[in-house]
Structure formats: structure tokens, C-alpha cells
């Protein structure tokens, strides 16, 4: 091989020669044949030129394919999920929307006195739309189609949240006052079909503003509230609505996946506004009948009242327990103050080994280890509760009641729950139903997501 | 070519040599040149090594591209469809959700006696969410915003289904009792704007449990029901709600796409519960007015009643016909039993050649051969109906009425329907409107999906 | 090179030889080597055959990859967007569905007489589903869960549209009569929390049919309407509902992005139907209280009434202004006709430089230049309004009122708005609240999309 050939080869193949690359053997062959004198310089020149051109074309083609592949394999900007409800969110996390809901279809049979009326009921039938907007903002609107009474009354959560500051959430709209573990826990997720007798003191939802923070071992929430969504400034619309203050602090010294100790304290103050009335009542841990076994009736001349609640709860593997005590002090203008109170203690055990799901100071939904429809039998839970409430004080003879409830829950899938409860009202003392001891058997079929 | 060269070639090219493959001509060429002595053994060795390396790289590159292509071309896990409503489902069929609804906007003009009040109405305005969860489970919640009366009353379908056993569906919640072809057929799909006079005996929806099975040539459904969604255990909440049993069997000896013969039988028993009352009434196949031309008023002392219905229907190409007879026997505690009955017969014909869509023992929605907006004129159907009801027996003078209805339906698209009906009440005998013969002209604009 | 070889080469390589292509250098090389006599004719034939086969395979492979790439990179048939609400549409534009809504959570404090009752309110809480079907058709159903009163009353827009004719839209269902700039503009987008005192003459929504056209510089809409969605033909259902005619024309000699001059004229005629009554009233540009500071009460013996409205509006960069005058003439059967009227004038200024968004003869939503959550402070707007209404004429002493309103709007994102209004009722003359001058401070938090 003469020098000129070598130089020519070097000049032409400089870049390519460094490492082997697709088709490089043809370069090598051409060079060899040229060196061996099998092709002339002119032929060699033509071959090299053609090779170069083809290589450039090949690179261009590969680049184009790669660009197309990159385009084709990149995840879509929007992700759609369906698991009962539908969730749509942008990959960048700036926007999301979820459409969800719940249904609770109940039936109940009553025995012993008082007559309570066997029957059926759609207990709750809700749809909601909630989401995130522009990274820092959230919204929600939920409506309960099973709500009776004035139309707007079916509005449950209707709110805006601001999450632009770390560990802090600001909320404005209509939502639950921060008070009581069993009230904060969704009705989808409480252990029995109805909350305890102490639920007589549930503050419910009001239109207001709240700030809250949730950490691994504690949570804190406090807000200022106006009145309920259906409050109407009295019949002549000229009286101030009520307003209130609420705060709840929780502390979880242990908060692991299957091991929790929870302590909580709630305060709820309410000024009754221009109406100056309030009332407390409770059914026998049932809702179909509508009979309130304890009931203060309308208490007049009320300026304000204060509720204080203490919470205790634990999860130890499949076992869980929870207890609350709530006391309510009612200040009256021209009569002595009133003190009412109630408490409950309950325990539950998963036969199938699941654990109650504790998060942000409340209990969340139960996820069975193996769902029905995926080869499993779902999650099975037994529960027992004692609860009591006393609505009798001074001249107000609302009555006192206590009851024991035995329940079984079958969580067929994470979205389905079937429950059966047997409630034995041990005694009613005072009030309309003095000395009566109704018994309730009720069942619920529920989907929620 | 010497033997060593041949062996070398064989060793190096063993696998590749079997069938021609991309670039194999270069191998062949190299081998030839080596055999022809154009390249030295050393050169040949280098060429073969380089070729091998390049081939490995090429295979790797192809594999990578193929993997990317496979990833890129595989269908997404979630499929989203929009055709009026929105359907989201997972490819594996385990989960799906549909958001749909309907609107019926009506106007009516009345002539002759009684005065019925011309006007307009949103007849139905519904949204629903329904879907499948964990393969075997289904759910639905539908609400009618046009519903008048108590709030929860607008709940139509609110239910859970279990489909884990072949050919069987279990249902719990609030839904229609299985009774009567025209009642089972959606209001979107019945031939006239309102159901027949015999619809006075429609059992409606109750909260209950039902099992059903649907085969090509027959269907069977039976259930136990509590009361309606808005039943409230009487005004003092202490009376048992009513309950009932319902069953329907259908047989279709011919069930082809455009040729159907349908026979059906329905039974519906209802215990009136603690209230012990019932009533039957019907408007003149119109709804805007609200005037019931026949009306038993409240019948007291009723223990229970039984409805029996016989169905007959056929589809023969564009022609369809259907008839039903329903009789109701009311048992009273301290008075003679009552027998009421009604029937109708109707026929329809598609001028544009479509056929009524029969499926699972009911009629479904009509799909025009060519929609407006896609170059067609939609589907046009003419219909004629005679219907009658007799609500007079013993001391109950509810009245007897019969009417003829002439209708035209324009299905502009599968999701849109415009209807005009002319109803001539031939006679009312007995009751409040004895001897009166109102005439009704009413139109409807409907979307449904 | 002999001739036969050349011919052979020509025959074999005819097509390929025209332009260089990937791997063509090997062809060239083979031909050269053949020409140079380095490979035999037989060898050359084999090489060419193999090359041909490999080329065909290569083309096939490339074609397959390209087909897969085309499949993989083509946009999905359905596009899903989430920005608060969710929009799903097909690429071909034939179908689309949007799920959206709004929430307005209000609080108000009142001072001076009359007593109006401080409080809170969910002013509006709506969800809607709207979309396009089969290219030419549209639909919408919106419900306001905050609506009080009869259930169906919460239905706002419930309609079908036909858009198959250029520049023309036909609409049937329940929607707003075409009248008044501030009424046509969504409550989400009007400058103050409540519309002006002249809003006493708002015709509201009725069930009807309307045709409209929108051009760059003008719009025209006219329709025939029945009654409202909750009209019930009187208590005994036997009286004709009311009906009406409505038309609105707008002219925008200047209609640029940040520069608009708008003129409008509206006519609204209404026959009161069988009831023969009407009434006009208005609150002090507030809604929580429910106190009507001017109120004609029920006017009886009314056959019909006619409203005429004139509109004027402008946008000049961040500045906007708008004014309307409305007069209403009520014809009575046995008494003199009545004339009522009202007007307002308002101006607004964006401190952050945005412009009011004018489109199709109304004002749309405001888009801040930089949203909170995306590094901005949102849009800030100041507004001032004077408005007045006179409901006193002849024997009807409804009262006369005028007020000044000062407002500030913070549009944190395109979907969020926070507003504070101070309303000073300058005077009420006549009527129940003669000589009283209430003052209102109210705030609103809103999401809408």
C-alpha cells in the first residue's frame, strides 16, 4: 500500500475509524481492497464518497426514528385513572380532578318499645368533584342527594383550599368543624353503621375559614365559622345567624402502619346569634326510624354553648379501640346553665388480619388483603361498642340513654362494604321514652370511592 | 479456496450463514474475496471480527427500537370514550365508569274540558355515574333534578350489583320492581312521550334485593323490596313501611336483530305496612298539567294488593307492536276487595327502515341508519296507541278512561329524539271528570346517553 | 469490463442505481470488483441475488417500523384536559364533553336600619355537563345545589343546541331570556358580588326556543318562551302558564382585544297566563339577608308587561365601564298601567393591567397575567357602581332606592376569584323601608371553570 493511499484513507475515514460502528466493516474492506490494489484510486474515491453520503443518510434516518420513538414513548401529559371513580391529573401535578361518590342503602327492623317503624332508606347518596388547580389551590363540591329537608341542605363539602405554604392548609367554604374523632372520620369508615349516642354533640358543618397542619405525630386545626348552609337569618330574615370557633389537636406518640396510639382534644364554641335557641337529640344509633330516644327539644334563651371533647384510640395489628368523652355547657340568659355529656368506648378486630388505617388524626378506609373478584374473601371485622348520652339537666328533661352495639363489617373490595349491626338500648331514663329499651337490627350496603 | 480458510469461515459465520439476512451479502463478499485470495487471512480475520461486532451492535439497536416500539404502540391501560357522555375503562375490563344523563324538555297545549293549563316543563333532567369495580361488582347512582317533592325523591337508580356468577346478577339498592314491559323500558325509549293509561299500576322503584338472569330467549327476575326512597314511616316515624315481592318472566321464541316475538308475565305483591293505604290515579298521557283524569283518592284499610300483568310484543323489520294487560286486586280489612285493570295496544313503523332494538326482555334505544350531522336525516317513526284504565269498583269511584294517541318520533342522532304526540281522550266515565274528553298536543326535545 | 457484465449489472441494479441509498456502496463495490475481475460472474450473480433479497427485507423492515412509528406517534383519538374541570373531546371535533362547575361562598355584615341579619351563605354551588354530539348538536345540563325552594328550581341551563347552519345557533330547553348585559354576563364574571338594583327587572330563565347569531361586530338573538322550570299551572294545575317573547341586539363598532365599544338593546314581553299576577322586588345588592328593600308585592289583574333595556359599555385597556337603563310597563285589566324603571353605571380598573374580556356581546372571565401558584400575584381590580330602581307608580308603593358600591376583586388564578364589596344604600324612598339607609359589607370566595 503506497503512502498516498494511506493518507487518503486517513483523511476520509478519520472520524469513523476510531471505534467500530454499524457498517464499518465495509469501510475496512474498501480500504483493504484499495491497499491490496484491488480497486483503483478513482474507484476508491467514488466508493468512499458514496459511503460517506450513505452514512450521513443513515445517521439522519436513525435520528428521525429516535425522535419519533422519544415522542411516542413519552408519557401523556394527562393521566386518567378509574377505580370506581375517575381521576384525571396532569403529569406535572399542577392540575387534577376527581369525580367520586358514595351510596349507603340501609334496612332496619325494630323490636320492643317504642314503636320505631321497620323500613328501608338510602342513607347517603353523594357525588363529589374535587381537585387541584395551579399547583397551590384545591377545590371540592359534594352533594348528598339523600338529604331531606331544604334543598341546599344536601351540600356537604363546598370549599377552596390554599396549599402554597409548607405543612399548612387554609380552607374556606362549607365543611366540618374540627371536633371529635368519630365525627372527623368519614361515615364511610366509622366502625358501626351509625355513630355513637355521644354523636348528639356533633357540631356538623358550617361556612367558615380554617387553618390546619398535619405532621407525622400530631395535627392541629382551628377555624372561625358562620352558620350552616341552610341557615336563613330567622323567618323574617332580619336576625344575625350564629357563629362559632373550633379547634382540635391530636397527638400520636406511636404512628406506624399497624401500630397507633392516638390522643385528641377538641373545643367547639358557638354563639346562637339572633335566634338564641339550640337543641340536642339522638336516635338509637339508627336513622331509618327517625325516633329520637333522647331529645332536649328547643332550648330557648341560649346565648352560647361550649363543647369539650377528649379522644383516645389505638391500633395494634388487627385490633383497634377508640373512646371519646364529650361535655357540653349551655349558657342561658335568664336561667341556670346546662351541662350535658356523653361518651363511648369501642373495639374492633379484623378476622382477616387487616389493620385500621390511621392518617392525619383520623381513621381512613379499609383495604382488604384480597378482594372478592380477585380471588379473595375481602376483609371481615367484628366490633363492639358501649355508648351513653345524658341530655337531662336542671329543667331540661331530655333523657339519658345507654346502649351496646355488636357489628360485623365485610369489606368485599376497597370500594365496597356490607355491615350488619345489632343495637340493644340498655335503658332510657327520663324524657318521652322513659324506661323503654328498643332493640335494632340494621344492615347496610355501601360503595364509596 | 484452501481448507483452513473454509473452516475459519464456517466457524465464524456458522449461525449467520443459514439464511440470508440484512447485510449478509457483505459476509458473502468477504468470504469470496478471501477464497479468491483478494484479502489475506489476517485481513479476513479483522474483517470478520469487525463484522461480528457490528452485527451484535445492530441486533442490540434493533432490539432496543423494537422494545420502544412495543412500548409505544401498546394500547393505554385506560380507554376514554366520548359520545355524549364519557366512558372510562381499563383495558383489562376490571374497572369502568360512565358519566351520562338525559334531558326531556316538554311543552303541551290542551283543549276541551277539563281545563288543564297549557305550559312547559323539564320532564326529566338526570345525571348518573355507573361502573364496574374489581371485575365482579357494579354500581350506579342516578338523580333526577327535575323531580318535584321531597329532595331524596329524585334518586332513581342507586345500587350495587354482583356479577361474579355466570348468567346471574344480584342487585341491592333502589331500582325498579320487575314488572310490565313499558315500565321496564326506559322513558327515553318508550314509543310515546308518556306511558299508557295502564301505567296507573306502575309499581315504580323501591329499596330492595333482586336476582335476575338474561338468556337469548328468556329472562327471569325476582326480588324482595322495602319501600320507596322517600317513605318516612308515617308522620310520627313509628309505623312500619310497606314491603313487597316482585317477579317477571319473559320468553322470546324469536329474538333476531329485526324480528322478535316477546311474551311476558309479571307479578307484584305489596303489603302496605303500618299506614294501610294506597291510591291509583293517572293523567291523560300527559304530565305538564298535573290533572289526574282518573283517581281513586286514598283507599284506607288496605292490607295488601297484587298486580298481575301479561305482555305481548313483536318486531318485524321497521314495524313493531306491543300490548299489555294489567289487573290489580286490593285486599281491604273491613270492606270488600277491589279489582282495577287497564290495558293498551300500540304499533309503530319506521319510515326510514330502522327496527326497534329488543334486548334482555325490554326495548332499548333507537339508532338511526344515518344521523343528522353525518349526512343523514335521522330515523322517523310513526306510532298509534289505544289505552284504557278502569279505577272504579265497589265504593271506589276512581273513573274509567280510554284514549287514542298518535305520535311521531324523530331520532336525529342516537342521542337525540324529538317527539310530537296528539292524545284524544275518547271518554271519561265516572269520577271527578265524568263525561269529559280532553285533547292534548305535546312535544318533547330529548337528549340521552 | 466486458459488455455482458455491464448489461447484467444494468439489469440487476436498474432501479437502485439512480440515487445513492443506504448500503448502495456495497452494490457499487460489488460491481467494481466484478468489473475489475476480482469476483467471477457466478460469484457476482450470487452476491447480487443475496443483496437484492437483503434489500427487500430491509425495505420491509423499515416499512414495518415506520408503520409502527406512525401508529405510535399519531395523537390519540380522544383528548383529555384538566384545568379545574375536565374536558374530553375527539380529535375530529365531532364529540366533546365538559364537566365543570362553580362555588360561591359568601359572608355579609349589615349595619344601620333595617335589621338584615349578618350571616354566611353558599350563594351558588353548581355542576354542569355540556358537550357536542355528531358535529352539529350540543347539549347542557347545569344544576345549582344551593338553590332554595322547590327541587327542580335548581335547574339552570338544560338545553339542546343545533349548530348545523353557519353563524346560526338554535336552542331549545331552559335558559336565560336574551335581555340586559349584566344578566347575560355570568354571575361568575360580573364586576360586583351581586348585580345592580336594576336587576329587579331580570327576566331570568324560561323553557323555550331561541335563534341567535354572533358576528365580530354584532349579535342578535330572539326567542319564544314558556314559563320557568318550576311553574306549575297554578295550585289546581288548571291555569295556562305564562309565555313570552324576547330579543336582544348588540353592536360593537370597536371590538379589539383590549378596546371595545358596546351598544345594546333588549326587548322582553311577557303574558302572565292564567294567574294574571306579577311582582318586582330587590335586595340591597346583597343576598344573604333576604330582605327586599324595594318590593311591589303581588300585583294582580296583570295581563302582560314589556321590558325595554338600553346598554352601553366600553373597555380601554385596564379600564372598563358599563351602564344600563331598563323600563318596565305593566298592563293591568282593571287599573291604570304601571311604569317602573331602574339604571346603573359602573367603572372598573385593573391595577395589574388586565383587560375585561368581551366576546359575543357579553363579558367573559378574567385571566390574570400571572397566577398565584405560578409566580404571580393574580389580577387585582377596583370597581365603583351607582345604581337605582323605582318600583313606585300609581297605587303600587314598591319604593325607590339608590346605592353606591365599592368593590375589589382578586382573581388569584383564571379559576379563582375573591371579592369584597361595600354597599352604601343612599336612600330608600317609600315602601316598607322608607327613609332607611342600610350599609352592607360582604365577601365572596369563588371557584368556577
Instruction: State whether C231 and C300 are in the same domain.
Output: yes
Comparing CA positions, the residue from C441, C424, C425, C442 lying closest to residue C433 is C425
Give A448→chain B minimum CA distance, Å: 10
Q: What is the CATH number of the domain that holds B319?
A: 2.40.160.10
DSSP state, residue A152: G
* Separation of alpha carbons B323 and B314, rounded Å: 9
Is residue B87 predicted with pLDDT exceeding 60? Answer: yes
- Residues A256-276: what's their mean pLDDT? 96
pLDDT at A75: 78
Query: What is the SS3 assignment for C91?
Result: coil
Which residues of chain A are within 8 Å of residue B26 when distances are taken between CB atoms?
25-26, 29
Q: What is the mean pLDDT of chain B?
A: 91
How high is the pLDDT of residue A290?
87
Which residues does chain B have within 8 Å of residue A111's beta carbon, measured at their own beta carbons? Answer: none
**Per-residue confidence (pLDDT) for residue A275, from 0 to 100:** 87
What is the per-residue pLDDT for C24? 78
Q: Any idea which of A26-30, A140-144, A208-212, C107-111 has the lowest mean pLDDT?
A: A26-30
Q: How many Cβ pairs within 8 Å bridge chains B and C?
A: 209
Quickly tell me which residue has 349516642 as its cell: A197
How much is the pLDDT for A108?
Answer: 96
Q: Which of B145, B416, B447 sits opposite C143 (nearest CB)?
A: B145
- A28 to chain B, any CB pair closer than 8 A? The answer is yes
Same domain, yes or no: C313 and C403: yes
End position of a domain, from candidates C30, C46, C73: C73
Determine the distance in angstroms separating the CA of C282 from the nearest CA of chain B, rounded to an integer.
Answer: 27
pLDDT of residue C28: 85
Pairing outcome for strands B379-393 and B205-214:
unpaired
A18 and A98 share one domain: no
Distance CA A171, CA A162 (A): 7
Together in a domain, C138 and C37: no
Helical ranges in B204-294 per DSSP H: none
Least confident of A69-73, A231-235, C133-137: A231-235
Q: For residue A24, what pLDDT is reported? A: 78
Same domain flag for A8 and A58: yes
Look at residue C21 in the predicted model and tell me its pLDDT: 59
Using alpha carbons only, what angle is made at residue B372 by residues B368 and B373, rounded to the nearest 5 degrees?
130
The answer on A10 and A138 residing in a single domain is no
**What is the average pLDDT across B290-310?**
96
- Are residues C24 and A54, on separate chains, in Cβ contact within 8 Å? yes
A103 and B164 in contact by Cβ < 8 A? no
With CB atoms and an 8 Å threshold, state whether B207 touches A32.
no
Evaluate if residue A100 carries a pLDDT over 60: yes
Residue B308: pLDDT above 80? yes
Closest chain C C-alpha to A193 CA, distance in angstroms? 27
pLDDT of residue B29: 85
Cβ distance A103 to B23 less than 8 Å, yes or no, reads: no
Query: Does A234 sit within 8 Å of C415, measured CB to CB?
Result: no
Q: Is A97 within 8 Å of C114 when comparing Cβ atoms?
A: no
| Local structure of A115: helix, strand or coil | coil
Asked if C53 and C143 sit in the same domain, the reply is no
The residue among A24 and C321 whose pLDDT is bigger is C321
Residue B21, pLDDT score? 59
Tell me, yes or no, if A147 comes closer than 8 A to chain B by beta carbon: yes
Top mean pLDDT of B8-17, B151-160, B329-338 is at B329-338
Please write the tens of the pLDDT for every residue from A190-217. Answer: 999 999 999 999 999 999 999 999 999 9
Q: Which domain holds residue B23?
A: 3-73
Best-predicted range by mean pLDDT (A27-41, A223-237, C295-309): C295-309
In terms of domains, do C265 and C411 share one? Answer: yes
Concatenated DSSP letters of C14-50: HHHHSS--TTHHHHHHHHHHHHTTSS-HHHHHHHHHH
Read off the C-alpha cell for A345: 368506648
Residues in B closer than 8 angstroms to C96, CB to CB, are: 82
Last residue of a domain, one of A23, A51, A73: A73
- pLDDT tens-digit readout, B368-406: 999 999 999 999 999 999 999 999 999 999 999 999 999
Instruction: Place B150 in a pLDDT band, splitting at 50, 70 and 90.
Output: low
Residue A31 confidence (pLDDT): 86
CA distance C289 to B294: 45
Tell me, yes or no, whether C83 and C45 share the same domain.
no
- Which residue, B21, B54, B73, sits at the end of a domain? B73
Pair (A364, A423) in one structural domain:
yes
Residues A62 and A198 in one domain: no
- Which three cell numbers mark A259? 401500630
Q: What is the pLDDT of residue B57?
A: 86
Question: Which of A57-61, B421-425, C285-289 shows the highest mean pLDDT?
Answer: B421-425
Interface test with B, best of A145, A415, A441 (most B CBs within 10 A): A145
Contact status of C95 with chain B (Cβ, < 8 Å): yes
Look at C446 and A235; give whichever has higher pLDDT.
C446
Hey, are the CB atoms on C141 and B125 less than 8 Å from each other? Answer: yes
pLDDT in tens, C24-82: 788 888 888 888 888 888 888 888 888 888 888 888 888 888 888 888 877 788 999 99
Q: What pLDDT shows up at residue A333?
A: 93
Report how far residue A179's alpha carbon sits from residue B301's, in angstroms, rounded to the nearest whole number.
49
The answer to whether residue C82 neighbours chain A at the CB level (below 8 Å) is yes
Contact C137 B26 (CB under 8 A): no
Map grid coordinates 278512561 to a residue: B401
Please indicate if any CB of chain B lies within 8 Å of the CB of C152: yes
Of the partner residues C119, C122, C445, the one whose CB lies closest to the CB of residue A155:
C122
ipTM of this predicted structure: 0.89
Listed as ranges, residues in chain C with pLDDT below 50 are 1-2, 6, 8-20
Q: Which of A54, A134, A240 sits opposite C119 (nearest CB)?
A: A240
* pLDDT value for A58: 84
Cα B428 versus chain centre, distance: 35
The pLDDT score that the predictor gives to residue B19 is 42
Does pLDDT of A1 surpass 50? no
Q: What residues contact A229, with CB distance under 8 A and at least 6 apart? A: A152, A153, A155, A158, A174, A205, A207, C121, C122, C146
Residue B105 touches partner C, C-beta closer than 8 Å: yes
pLDDT exceeds 90 at position A149: no
- Tally helices (H) and strands (E) across chain C: 4, 22
Same domain, B67 and B83: no
Q: Can you give the pLDDT at residue B56? A: 86
Decide if A309 touches C, using CB distance below 8 A: no
Is C13 in a helix, a strand, or coil? helix
> Using an 8 Å Cβ cutoff, are C234 and C242 in contact?
no
Residue A165 distance to chain C (closest CA, Å): 10
What distance in Å separates the CA atoms of residue B319 and residue B346, rounded to the nearest whole number?
A: 11
Instruction: State the nearest Cα–Cα gap between B33 and chain A, in angstroms.
Output: 9
The runs of H, that is alpha helices, within B144-278 are: 181-184
Which chain C residue's Cα is nearest to A133? C84
pLDDT above 80: residue B132: yes
Instruction: Look up residue C349 and give its three cell numbers.
Output: 380598573
Task: Domain count for chain C, please give it.
Answer: 2
Amino acid at each position: 500500500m503506497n503512502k498516498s493511499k494511506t493518507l487518503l484513507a486517513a483523511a476520509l475515514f478519520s472520524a469513523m475509524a476510531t471505534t467500530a460502528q454499524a457498517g464499518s466493516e465495509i469501510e475496512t474492506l474498501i480500504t483493504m481492497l484499495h491497499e491490496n490494489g484491488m480497486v483503483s484510486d478513482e474507484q476508491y474515491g467514488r466508493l468512499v464518497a458514496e459511503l460517506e453520503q450513505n452514512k450521513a443518510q443513515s445517521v439522519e434516518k436513525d435520528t428521525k426514528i429516535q425522535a419519533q420513538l422519544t415522542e411516542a414513548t413519552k408519557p401523556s401529559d394527562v393521566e386518567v385513572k378509574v377505580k370506581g371513580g375517575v381521576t384525571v391529573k396532569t403529569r406535572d401535578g399542577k392540575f387534577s380532578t376527581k369525580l367520586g361518590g358514595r351510596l349507603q342503602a340501609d334496612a332496619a327492623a325494630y323490636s320492643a318499645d317504642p314503636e320505631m317503624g321497620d323500613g328501608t332508606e338510602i342513607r347517603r347518596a353523594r357525588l363529589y368533584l374535587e381537585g387541584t388547580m395551579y399547583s397551590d389551590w384545591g377545590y371540592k363540591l359534594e352533594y348528598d342527594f339523600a338529604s331531606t329537608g331544604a334543598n341546599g341542605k344536601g351540600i356537604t363539602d363546598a370549599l377552596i383550599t390554599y396549599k402554597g405554604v409548607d405543612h399548612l392548609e387554609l380552607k374556606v367554604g362549607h365543611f366540618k368543624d374540627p371536633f371529635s374523632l368519630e365525627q372527623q372520620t368519614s361515615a364511610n369508615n366509622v366502625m358501626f353503621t351509625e355513630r355513637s349516642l355521644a354523636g348528639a354533640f356533633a357540631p356538623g358543618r358550617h361556612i367558615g375559614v380554617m387553618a390546619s397542619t398535619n405532621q407525622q405525630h400530631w395535627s392541629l386545626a382551628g377555624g372561625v365559622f358562620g352558620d350552616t348552609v341552610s341557615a336563613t337569618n330567622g323567618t323574617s330574615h332580619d336576625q344575625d345567624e350564629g357563629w362559632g370557633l373550633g379547634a382540635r389537636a391530636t397527638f400520636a406518640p406511636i404512628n406506624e402502619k399497624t401500630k397507633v396510639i392516638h390522643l385528641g382534644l377538641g373545643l367547639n364554641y358557638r354563639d346562637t346569634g339572633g335566634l338564641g335557641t339550640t337543641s340536642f337529640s339522638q336516635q338509637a344509633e339508627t336513622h331509618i326510624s327517625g325516633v329520637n330516644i333522647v331529645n332536649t327539644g328547643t332550648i330557648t334563651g341560649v346565648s352560647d354553648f361550649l363543647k369539650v371533647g377528649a379522644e383516645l384510640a389505638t391500633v395494634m395489628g388487627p385490633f383497634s379501640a377508640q373512646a371519646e368523652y364529650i361535655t357540653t355547657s349551655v349558657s342561658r340568659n335568664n336561667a341556670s346553665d346546662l351541662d350535658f355529656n356523653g361518651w363511648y368506648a369501642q373495639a374492633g378486630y379484623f378476622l382477616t388480619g387487616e389493620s385500621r388505617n390511621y392518617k392525619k388524626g383520623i381513621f381512613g378506609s379499609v383495604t382488604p388483603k384480597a378482594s372478592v373478584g380477585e380471588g379473595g374473601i375481602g376483609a371481615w371485622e367484628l366490633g363492639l361498642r358501649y355508648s351513653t348520652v345524658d341530655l337531662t339537666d336542671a329543667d331540661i328533661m331530655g333523657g339519658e340513654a345507654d346502649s351496646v352495639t355488636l357489628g360485623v363489617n365485610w369489606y368485599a373490595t376497597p370500594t365496597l362494604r356490607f355491615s350488619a349491626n345489632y343495637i340493644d338500648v340498655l335503658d332510657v331514663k327520663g324524657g318521652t321514652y322513659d324506661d323503654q329499651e328498643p332493640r335494632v337490627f340494621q344492615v347496610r350496603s355501601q360503595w364509596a370511592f
